[in-house]
């Protein structure tokens, strides 16, 4: 059976083709969106560690994550850390999970306290307004501000203290906990931390040996661990994965089952609708292998068109979701597209096997019945 015949059969009934492509595309788009939602969730929750722009992070001994654990260190070891590491710049930050409340809005947030006179620890993307310049100012995530009906210049209450909103950040939200930024001094006073910080940040000169600097600090400063931002992001990612991966995996499995069912039904009905055509082909000499190859080719054509439609639908849906619901970050990576393509190929081959038994039972005499 030639490819042109399979191609002609695929486009013979355009209405059924469109419905099949849309059904397959929708199931693949759902798979891509679920993968994109998971990647976006992880990216949002590890974005702060990934955008710190430092080489080393000094944490309380045993602490390996920013979001998934808490750390407290004395601030007066800062000079010693800077000298031992040979840093060209160092700073401090405070991180804490707290509840933001305004009117009917109550939600957990990740509070970040950093030093406004340095670039270490500040938000990585500003949407409106400016960054912090002094105490008593606050930066809110754009989605949190929209949800709470807060604008630049408004005053907000956070844990009993008043702050003026001077800027709105972007890409700092997830459906779980958006980031909020205040000065280091305000964070110490608000959280009741006296001469303490969560993490010391160290930026090394170009070409410096990170391992040697980390060993020097850990061997001389008691009760600290020195870790890299990527390692912290991995720890936070794994902590969230233990909660989120199982339900997302279940939904992905459902999407795959739906995809196989849709494509299987498409192949089966295609064979059923063209029984006389296949009977005629068998009557003029086509063997079972040739007929099976024809069905596989038709399934691959439909599956390929459905894959393209699914990828396009997934990207369009991701843009619309993030535009209307900024708390959801959907990242469709090339690895996810490759996985969806592999699934589409697998589902196509599996679905092509379903009508084979019916095909084997075709009687060539059927082609000559009125």
Choice between 188 and 325, residue whose per-residue pLDDT is larger = 188
Domain boundaries, the chain: 3-45+241-368, 56-227
108: phi then psi, degrees, rounded to nearest 5: -70, 140
Question: Which stretches within 221-287 are classed as H helix?
Answer: 229-273, 275-283
CA torsion through residues 238, 242, 247, 252, sign: positive
Residue 229 has pLDDT above 90, yes or no: no
Structure tokens at 270: 């295609």
- Residue 93 CA to residue 26 CA, distance in Å, equals 45
Query: What does pLDDT average to over the chain?
Result: 81
Longest CA span, the chain: 96
Please give the pLDDT value at position 1: 47
String of b and e for 310-321 (b: at least 16 CB within 10 Å)? Answer: bbebbbebbeeb
Residue 260 has pLDDT above 90, yes or no: no
Q: What is the pLDDT of residues 10-40, one digit of tens each?
A: 666 676 778 778 878 888 888 888 888 888 8
Classify 127 as helix, strand or coil.
strand
Identify the top-confidence range among 105-109, 270-274, 289-293. 105-109
Please give the pLDDT value at position 63: 79
| CA distance to 179, 183, 290, 297, per residue, from 101 (Å) | 14, 19, 68, 59
CA torsion through residues 83, 87, 92, 93, sign: negative
Structure tokens at 368: 């000559």
- Residue 167 CA to residue 182 CA, distance in Å, equals 11
Classify 187 as helix, strand or coil.
helix
Which helix H or strand E contains 140, and what residues bound it? Answer: strand 137-141
Please give the pLDDT value at position 68: 60
Residue 268 has pLDDT above 60, yes or no: yes
- Following DSSP, what letter does each residue of 305-330 receive, concatenated? HHHHHHHHHHHHHHHHHHHH-TT---
pLDDT band at 366 (very low <50, low <70, confident <90, very high): low
Q: What is the pLDDT of residues 174-196, one digit of tens each?
A: 666 889 999 999 999 999 888 88
Average pLDDT over residues 329-358: 79
Please give the pLDDT value at position 261: 74
Cβ atoms within 10 A of the Cβ of 190, count?
A: 20
Which helix H or strand E contains 106, and what residues bound it? Answer: strand 105-114
For a pLDDT cut of 90, what percent of the chain falls above it?
A: 18
Across the strands, what pairs with 111?
Answer: 96, 180
pLDDT band at 9 (very low <50, low <70, confident <90, very high): low
Residue 345 has pLDDT above 90, yes or no: no
- Residue 336 CA to residue 317 CA, distance in Å, equals 15
Contact call for residues 226 and 58 (beta carbons, < 8 A): yes
């Amino acid at each position: 059976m030639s490819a042109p015949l399979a191609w002609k059969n695929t486009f013979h009934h355009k209405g059924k083709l469109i419905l099949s492509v849309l059904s397959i595309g929708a199931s693949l788009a759902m798979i891509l969106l679920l993968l994109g939602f998971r990647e976006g969730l992880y990216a949002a929750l590890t974005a702060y560690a990934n955008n710190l722009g430092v080489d080393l992070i000094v944490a309380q001994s045993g602490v390996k994550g920013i979001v998934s654990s808490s750390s407290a260190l004395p601030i007066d070891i800062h000079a010693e850390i800077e000298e031992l590491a040979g840093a060209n710049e160092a700073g401090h930050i405070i991180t804490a999970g707290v509840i933001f409340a305004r009117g009917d809005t109550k939600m957990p947030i990740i509070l970040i306290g950093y030093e406004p006179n340095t670039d270490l620890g500040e938000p990585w993307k500003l949407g409106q307004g400016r960054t912090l310049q002094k105490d008593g100012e606050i930066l809110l995530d754009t989605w949190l501000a929209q949800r709470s009906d807060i604008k630049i210049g408004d005053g907000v209450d956070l844990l009993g203290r008043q702050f003026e909103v001077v800027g709105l950040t972007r890409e700092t939200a997830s459906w779980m906990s958006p980031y909020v930024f205040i000065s280091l001094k305000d964070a110490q006073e608000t959280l009741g931390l006296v001469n303490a910080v969560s993490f010391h940040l160290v930026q090394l000169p170009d070409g410096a040996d990170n391992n040697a600097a980390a060993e020097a600090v850990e061997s001389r400063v008691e009760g600290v661990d020195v870790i890299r931002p990527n390692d912290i992001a991995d720890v936070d990612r794994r902590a969230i994965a233990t909660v989120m991966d199982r339900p997302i995996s279940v939904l992905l499995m459902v999407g795959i089952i739906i995809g196989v069912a849709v494509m299987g039904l498409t192949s089966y009905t295609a064979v059923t609708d063209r029984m006389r055509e296949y009977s005629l082909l068998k009557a003029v000499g086509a063997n079972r292998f040739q007929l099976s190859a024809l069905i596989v080719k038709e399934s691959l054509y439909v599956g390929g068109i459905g894959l393209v439609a699914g990828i396009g639908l997934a990207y369009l849906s991701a843009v619309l979701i993030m535009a209307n619901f900024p708390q959801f970050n959907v990242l469709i990576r090339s690895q996810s597209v490759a996985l969806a393509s592999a699934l589409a190929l697998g589902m196509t081959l599996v679905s092509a096997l379903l009508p084979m038994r019916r095909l084997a039972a075709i009687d060539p005499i059927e082609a000559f019945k009125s």
